[in-house]
């Protein structure tokens, strides 16, 4: 993707000039500014919401076949431009190019394919005697997406909204905006009707706040920190709009005593540090029997030390830099907090990795002998930092797994499927992944407790964008 200033917003079917204010975008691998993007205003939000409101009556009445065709064109264009998206994300947020090609981009495209599959078989009306229950699109939807999975989170929201017949105003993160701008061009080239999809870039304090409080926005969906989700919900409450939140996490990876430790521990380290640990559902608390702690320490340290950290454009790189400076500082501070709190450092530590003299690179770090009350065991770090927590028995393991304000994702390792499902039923989280299953775009994703409310992906994500109407008589 060429380095350039992107000074326009996408509103009402056209690229339009924005105010003069521009936000710099920095390549986290080099620290160099790679371009600037438009910072939208409340007035820009008003224009975009007005366009979406005008477009809604016609688009909400469009046929299923028409929306299926639109989604098909979007999917095809994303496939054709996959390398452009991978390169953009590597530049703007430092994801390793191999990971961008094998995970960031294809999983994002899969969200579009899944929503086509949902739409093809969805029953819009159910009827019994004199009662008909119908589903209808909710209206104008404001979508706020994060910097860590920039395209993936866009398609996870835009695809079901479009499938449902809603119109959209998207606010992507200003920290990873280039992939969002490429996506807006895909929507334009796919022939989305004017006003159905709009993009207003900018900050959460301005654009996000204006969307949250806007009286003509019927629903808002946000993926971000718990703090940001609370602010959005507070602003949205005045107009009583629907709020769907996918927020923070501190996910456990519970190894029962019959688990495959020889291969499962290394997989757990990689799962916790995938995307440089910048995933809200990353399993960063590894719970293991106290009797196996020494064995787990050896396996985990070997796995962490084998991770190749470096230039994200190098295809041999597994882990690029942290995506931005505030997050880098947060991760370094939390590593120091782990040491100060008495945890046993068995891999990594503070400072840059060996051989790195610049950029926002972090050493893959593993702490052992972590107790549930330690700061590193309770706060979301959002970096490649794993906590190994020993437990005495199954009951204590389940209690530790649930001892968190979050409840987004969790992992569970066991050789006994019956036992694993029994324990999974006692974990308070929106997803429980047993023995590292393949990603499933139809599986609902969302959280308990302070990890949010509502669900994304598959039919459950689709139905967040629908209203229910009863017709009686």
- How many angstroms separate the CA atoms of 448 and 410, rounded? 11
Element (H, E) at 42: helix 42-60
Residue with token string 């999975």: 149
- How many angstroms separate the CA atoms of 223 and 236, rounded? 15
Residue 286 CA, chain-centre distance (Å), reads: 21
Element (H, E) at 209: helix 209-213
From the list 280, 297, 463, 464, the catalytic residue is 280
Of how many residues is the chain composed? 473
CA distances from 67 to 153, 217, 439 (A): 20, 21, 26
**Phi and psi for 407 in degrees, rounded to 5?**
-170, 55
- 79 an active-site residue? no
- How many angstroms separate the CA atoms of 143 and 141, rounded? 6
Name the DSSP letter for residue 108.
H
DSSP of 372-420: TTSHHHHS---SSEEEEEEESSHHHHHHHHH-SS--S--EEE-S-HHHH
**Phi and psi for 191 in degrees, rounded to 5?**
85, 30
- 246 an active-site residue? yes
Of 22, 47, 170, 67, the closest CA to residue 462 belongs to: 67
CA distances from 76 to 184, 233, 388 (A): 14, 35, 43
> Which residues pair with residue 344 across a beta bridge?
368
Question: Is residue 31 left, alpha or beta, with left meaning phi > 0 and alpha meaning psi from -120 to 50?
Answer: left
From the list 92, 246, 297, 464, the catalytic residue is 246
Name the DSSP letter for residue 227.
H
Sign, Cα dihedral of 266, 272, 278, 279: positive
- How many angstroms separate the CA atoms of 164 and 140, rounded? 11
List residues with catalytic annotation.
246, 280
């Amino acid at each position: 993707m060429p380095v350039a200033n992107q000074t326009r917003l996408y509103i009402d079917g056209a690229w339009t000039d924005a105010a003069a204010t521009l936000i710099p975008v920095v390549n986290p691998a080099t620290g160099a500014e790679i371009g600037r993007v438009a910072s939208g205003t409340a007035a820009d939000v008003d224009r975009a919401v007005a366009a979406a409101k005008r477009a809604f009556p016609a688009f909400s009445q469009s046929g299923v076949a028409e929306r299926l065709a639109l989604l098909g064109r979007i999917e095809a264009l994303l496939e054709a431009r996959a390398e452009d998206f991978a390169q953009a994300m590597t530049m703007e947020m430092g994801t390793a190019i191999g990971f961008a090609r094998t995970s960031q981009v294809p999983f994002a495209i899969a969200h579009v394919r899944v929503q086509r599959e949902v739409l093809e078989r969805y029953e819009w009306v159910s009827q019994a005697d004199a009662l008909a229950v119908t589903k209808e699109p909710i209206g104008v939807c404001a979508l706020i997406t994060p910097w860590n999975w920039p395209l993936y989170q866009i398609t996870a929201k835009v695809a079901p909204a479009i499938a449902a017949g809603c119109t959209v105003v998207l606010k992507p993160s200003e920290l990873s905006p280039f992939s969002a701008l490429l996506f807006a061009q895909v929507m334009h080239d796919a022939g989305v009707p004017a006003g159905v999809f709009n993009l207003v870039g900018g900050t959460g304090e301005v654009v996000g706040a204006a969307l949250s409080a806007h009286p003509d926005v019927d629903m808002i969906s946000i993926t971000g920190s718990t703090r940001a989700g609370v602010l959005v919900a507070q602003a949205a409450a005045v107009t009583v709009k629907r709020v769907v939140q996918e927020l923070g996490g501190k996910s456990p990876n519970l190894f029962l005593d019959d688990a495959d430790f020889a291969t499962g521990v290394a997989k757990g380290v990689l799962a916790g540090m995938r995307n440089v640990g910048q995933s809200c559902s990353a399993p960063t608390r590894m719970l293991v029997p106290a009797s196996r702690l020494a064995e787990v320490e050896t396996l985990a340290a070997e796995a962490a030390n084998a991770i190749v950290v470096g230039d994200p454009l190098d295809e041999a790189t597994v882990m690029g830099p942290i995506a931005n400076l505030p997050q880098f500082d947060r991760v370094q501070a939390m590593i120091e907090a782990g040491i100060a709190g008495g945890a046993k450092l068995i891999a990594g530590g503070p400072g840059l990795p060996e051989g790195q003299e610049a950029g926002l690179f972090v050493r893959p770090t593993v702490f052992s002998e972590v107790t549930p009350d330690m700061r590193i065991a309770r706060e979301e770090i959002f970096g490649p930092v794993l906590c190994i927590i020993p437990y005495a028995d199954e009951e204590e393991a389940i209690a530790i797994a649930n001892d968190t304000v979050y409840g987004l994702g969790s992992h569970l390792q066991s050789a006994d499927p019956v036992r694993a499902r029994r324990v999974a039923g006692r974990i308070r989280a929106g997803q429980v992944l047993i023995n590292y299953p393949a990603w499933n775009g139809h599986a609902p994703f969302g959280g308990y407790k302070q990890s949010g409310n509502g669900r994304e992906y598959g039919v459950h994500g689709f139905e967040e964008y629908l209203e229910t109407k009863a017709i009686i008589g």
